Structure 1
Amino acid sequence: MARYQIIIAYDGTHFQGFQRQGSSRTVQAEVEAALRSLGWQDESILYAGRTDSGVHAMGQVIAFDLDWRHNPQQLLKALNASLPEDVAARSVQVVRNHFHPRYHALARQYLYRLYCEEERDPLRERYMWRVWPEVQAELLHQAANRLLGEHDFAAFGSPLRPGGSTIRRVYRAEWQQTAKKEWTFRITANAFLYRMVRRLVFLQVRVGQQQLSLEQFEAALQIPQPLLPGLAKPNGLYLEWVQYEENDLKSEGLIKTLSVSGEEDCG
């Protein structure tokens, strides 16, 4: 019996989120069904965080115990043969027996994609948020720069547990114009509040459209206060990667946990 860590990617369009919930189609339920066909018998896989309905992932991390008598690469191929087309295992490795993809995460990075057009574009709207009026580049960059460092993000998300901490540390927050009228936003932090990324994107877009002042946005980071209601659409959000200490991925190593990581809920 060994514990395996697998990085998975999925198109969240036709999923009711990651976490198993009743008879709804979820990523967790599909992965667990595929694992059972390989002899896995536990009740639940471990995972780095939950994503909402419609949210995608390039680097979701799961872990499970399995008595597998072949090499890890064969496990990867066997799992992919049993998964549906909108979920794929990207890599596999054996990790220490007590590794937990959520509690041992040091940082997570999300990517958000949007484009600015007045009329719909069905080929882009599946994976991007269409916004109009167009955003102003300098205002987006200034808003993102305000996010760096440690802040109380109570105005931008909520903890999973009543009374849980809303303080998070952001290591990276930047907008990049990838094509004419197309933008990507990347944000890296030690952990995220529930729907924090979509809320941050929504409000930065409103700053970029001059519907919310940069001063109001910054003030809510210093002292939590009500802002414009709303969230960016889920289809533009991707969990890009999760970072761990090297020792946490070895079969033997020191355990290092971050207290805020236990409250992670993706996006």
Structure 2
Amino acid sequence: MRLDIAYDGTDFSGWARQPERRTVCGTIEDTLSLVLRRDIRLTVAGRTDAGVHATGQVAHLDLPADVDLPPLVSRLARALPADVRVSSARVVPPEFDARFAALRRHYLYRVCDTQESANPLHRNHVVTWPRPLALDALNAASALLLGEHDFVAFCKRREGATTIRELQRLEWTRTPHGTLEARVSADAFCHSMVRSLVGALLAVGEGRKPVDWPASMLTATERPSHVAVAPAHGLALIGVDYPPDTDLATRAEITRRVRTL
């Protein structure tokens, strides 16, 4: 069963379960276990960090084919806290895997660089930046990062995991209200990758670093200490793409392979 999920990450310690901490996964799994009267474990498209939000998160769970399902979305709407919602729940083919069958993930990062335009109602979802940011410089530096690279300079390495990713989109726009929005898409992201990319680009946008500085770190063999990680609350996972049902198994097999350049 596929679940489409949205949450405000402000009061969560990220997606993944942690002892004695309030997490998105723990909250949903515990609620589903009560509603379905069985132990439920979720597989998610992308684990978000503490403070990161989502409007398009995807997870799946496995159930017996003959299970008697209640009207799950409405039951969960009544049982879950107000800062997390399951917007849809539907049966999918057994080859569907929320994590490994995904084609790409889409993130949105928002930052306001004028104190006068900062909206206090958006303080938990938009980063207020103390200095002006040049849109042209942000986009020029972003374009140099596109493609398949080893993003180890922008990731927190995990044992046995590759940091090679294909960055497919990194584009900045300014809204009529003055907020800068970065739309970031890749086949997958490693831990803290989006926030590290944004952190490096913000240094370019405010003029502290040259346009080619972020891309110059794509040749690094380890994460440098001077790459700043942008604040979590400006980031939201807004969508995950999947192939047609007939291609789910093939996509999952490809994703499981350890990539090399």
- Fold-level similarity (TM above 0.5): yes
- Equivalent position of 1:241 in the other structure: 239
Secondary structure of 1:132's match?
coil
Residue 246 (structure 2) pairs with residue 256 (structure 1):
no
Give the letter aligned to residue 190 of structure 1. D
- Tell me by how many angstroms 1:99 deviates: 2.2
Residue 44 (structure 2) pairs with residue 47 (structure 1):
yes
Task: Note if contact 2:199-2:227 (Cα within 8 Å) is conserved in structure 1.
Answer: no
- Equivalent position of 1:89 in the other structure: 86
* Cα distance in 2 between the residues matched to 1:152 and 1:65: 34
Q: Which runs of 5+ in 1 are unaligned?
A: none
Residue 202 (structure 2) pairs with residue 205 (structure 1):
yes
- Equivalent position of 2:27 in the other structure: 30
* Cα distance in 2 between the residues matched to 1:133 and 1:31: 39
- Tell me by how many angstroms 1:90 deviates: 1.2
TM-score (normalised: structure 1): 0.87
* Cα distance in 2 between the residues matched to 1:64 and 1:97: 10
Residue 185 (structure 2) pairs with residue 185 (structure 1):
no
Give the root-mean-square deviation of aligned CA atoms.
Answer: 2.3
* Cα distance in 2 between the residues matched to 1:64 and 1:70: 13
- Equivalent position of 1:77 in the other structure: 74
TM-score (normalised: structure 2): 0.89
* Cα distance in 1 between the residues matched to 2:73 and 2:93: 18
* Cα distance in 2 between the residues matched to 1:201 and 1:122: 22
Identity %, equivalent residues: 35
- Tell me by how many angstroms 1:44 deviates: 1.8
* Cα distance in 1 between the residues matched to 2:249 and 2:167: 25
Give the letter aligned to residue 94 of structure 1. V
Task: Note if contact 1:106-1:258 (Cα within 8 Å) is conserved in structure 2.
Answer: no
Q: Which runs of 5+ in 2 are unaligned?
A: none
Give the letter aligned to residue 12 of structure 2. F
- Equivalent position of 1:16 in the other structure: 13
- Tell me by how many angstroms 1:177 deviates: 0.4
- Equivalent position of 1:103 in the other structure: 100
* Cα distance in 1 between the residues matched to 2:129 and 2:257: 33
- Tell me by how many angstroms 1:106 deviates: 1.1
* Cα distance in 2 between the residues matched to 1:125 and 1:90: 24
Q: Which moved more, 1:178-187 or 1:235-244?
A: 178-187
* Cα distance in 1 between the residues matched to 2:110 and 2:12: 19
- Equivalent position of 1:221 in the other structure: 218
Task: Note if contact 2:40-2:61 (Cα within 8 Å) is conserved in structure 1.
Answer: no
Question: Which one has a larger percent strand, Structure 1 or Structure 2?
Answer: 1
* Cα distance in 2 between the residues matched to 1:107 and 1:47: 13
* Cα distance in 1 between the residues matched to 2:227 and 2:92: 42
Give the letter aligned to residue 69 of structure 1. D
* Cα distance in 2 between the residues matched to 1:144 and 1:40: 48
Secondary structure of 2:152's match?
coil
* Cα distance in 2 between the residues matched to 1:247 and 1:53: 32
- Tell me by how many angstroms 1:121 deviates: 5.0
- Tell me by how many angstroms 1:160 deviates: 2.5
* Cα distance in 2 between the residues matched to 1:261 and 1:143: 31
Secondary structure of 2:153's match?
coil
- Tell me by how many angstroms 1:76 deviates: 1.4
- Tell me by how many angstroms 1:256 deviates: 2.3
Deviations along 1:221-265, one digit per CA (max 9) or x if unpaired, are: 24457373321110000011111112169xxx64422655689xx
- Tell me by how many angstroms 1:40 deviates: 4.4
Q: Do the aligned partners of residues 46 and 40 (structure 1) sit closer, same or farther apart at CA in structure 2, a change above 3 Å counting? A: farther
